[in-house]
Structure 1
């Protein structure tokens, strides 16, 4: 099919051209997203055309790409806890064997995942630079869910390390990143309390965070100050309850305030990309985290734009365009 700015998400899913990958364009997809055109998300900035071309190539074959969809838990673990069946890796292999690899974590407010924009499009771009990529689908849409989602991240890191030879990737040579809620998860791997060091996992060479949500104190204040029953309060409550449950408090949110748990010794180099006009996750999250990194002498680089909003993914045509290449240059400096 021809992919244009007027193509609807539902048309992509129903076309059959993208095999089983189509089930992961949006998790828990609703009719509003099915009926949206690609232009409503930003046709150019999200890199839809090259991403979908790559997905189509991976899905070509009688199994629709089934061999590229990897469960990270064992059959016994999924039997004992059925919801762990939701946790999957979508494999975008590199051309060469023994490749470095990237673990990519899409966002979606812990309610769903924007897998096409914040996962597959990023994987396609990193594939061009020789990286094997794995897009993580973690547990969402529960109250609370963040600790379960983090468990899925930990397992994904372990799974890739343990299966490196079979997957054609270079053990311990990986970067990790995420977007929005996915960046919250990715960022925690840098933390002293919930990160790679505390969980005895391989250290990432770098972590990249797109429009990250980490100032949970600010999200709490926005919730607490909003009038009862207002859209602002209801929206904030929905997000915060997916983190910590119905009993929302600063104490419960504190472990997920990343900048409070960073150290020069354990934090890998960090890269941030965001826009000042983000209407969903306030830009101050990225600003504050950068300031904390500079205070602790943690290697950090940022690419910030004035305009471009939220959920831009690869960001083509925006001020932040080329951030993936800039991030890789920082990594290999």
Structure 2
């Protein structure tokens, strides 16, 4: 009798253990929609987010135990900023929806052979948000970066949510940064992304022409240089952008030029993209440009600084390039879609500009 009771007890314990083991899996599969208050750890543990392949660590140093713990405990609003947290959450929920519907989210732009020859190229990815209707125009979004911090989860996802809601196909590009950005790597990554999208336009359900480049901060400079026929799209023999939609883009790297060269390209010869300010990239036939910044953007400094926005505008005027320049009183740096600031709704205005010059 005692032996039988013992067996029953052991069986009950085993069942209880199995039930406990299954709880995290069940919880992970039923986390509910992502909100601005969801923690980064909860987002990264969501099975659909993880399996979709998107990169949810925006900092290279997230790999350290201390920083990983710090960032994981942040809410999405703390991580991405209040101005774009709701849009980021909408984009992440769309990732979950697309992945669960069997749609591919993450695309590599380099071949396995190219990645084997240069492993850093494995980091280069496109995160795709297909439009509701086939044959839609598409946008490629380049978030900003501060050396080891990239913005595809912040500015990239937030922009994707709004552009998707307006009926466009959106590709958020994760390009090489930090110690991998030498030899014009970000420019090459953008070229390969455009090449991949246009070559697979039919299966991706997008129009191969008249696409928009949406660039923020240093991503805006990459986009602006890429729009030059000699240094950018023409050099890589890919399709020309239809328009540039730039938010607080870096127009001139200024004192950072020698620093960048020393860190990334010391001992090499040849032109580097960060040597070219946007006003020097402008030429006859340059794509139409919509660009904006805030007067309280302390990161960029005054607009009149040589190489910054006034020089860019003068170059556009001299080359008869259609443009729209917008200045906001309250629109700090790195706010993306800018909700809750003077820049709120800028993307609707920018899309109208896009349609005006590519319809």
TM-score range, shorter chain: 0.7 to 0.9
Unaligned runs of 5+ in 1: 224-236
**Match for 1:260 among 275, 280, 300?**
280
**How far apart in 1 are the matches of 2:330 and 2:262?**
30
Matched, 1:306 2:294: no
**How far apart in 2 are the matches of 1:315 and 1:182?**
17
In the alignment, what sits opposite 2:25?
A: none
**How far apart in 2 are the matches of 1:254 and 1:101?**
26
1:21 CA drift (Å): 5.0
Unaligned runs of 5+ in 2: 1-31
- Total equivalences in the alignment: 310
8 Å CA contact 1:92, 1:134 repeated in 2: yes
In the alignment, what sits opposite 2:234?
A: 197
Change (3 A) 1:143 1:174: closer
Cα deviation digits, residues 235-263 of structure 1 (max 9, x gap): xx4x6755x5458xxx9677322211311
**Which stretch of structure 1 is more off in the superposition, 151-160 or 168-177?**
168-177
In the alignment, what sits opposite 2:140?
A: 103
**How far apart in 1 are the matches of 2:143 and 2:130?**
18
**Match for 1:33 among 71, 85, 93?**
71
**Equivalence map 1:44-193=2 (5 Å):** 44-46=83-85, 47-60=87-100, 67-142=104-179, 144-145=181-182, 147-193=184-230
**How far apart in 2 are the matches of 1:53 and 1:253?**
35
Change (3 A) 1:51 1:283: farther
8 Å CA contact 1:204, 1:268 repeated in 2: yes
SS in structure 1 of the partner of residue 140 of structure 2? strand
TM-score by length of 2: 0.77
In the alignment, what sits opposite 2:40?
A: 9
SS in structure 1 of the partner of residue 293 of structure 2? strand
TM-score by length of 1: 0.82
8 Å CA contact 1:179, 1:209 repeated in 2: yes
Say which one has the larger Rg: 2
In the alignment, what sits opposite 2:4?
A: none
**How far apart in 1 are the matches of 2:127 and 2:217?**
19
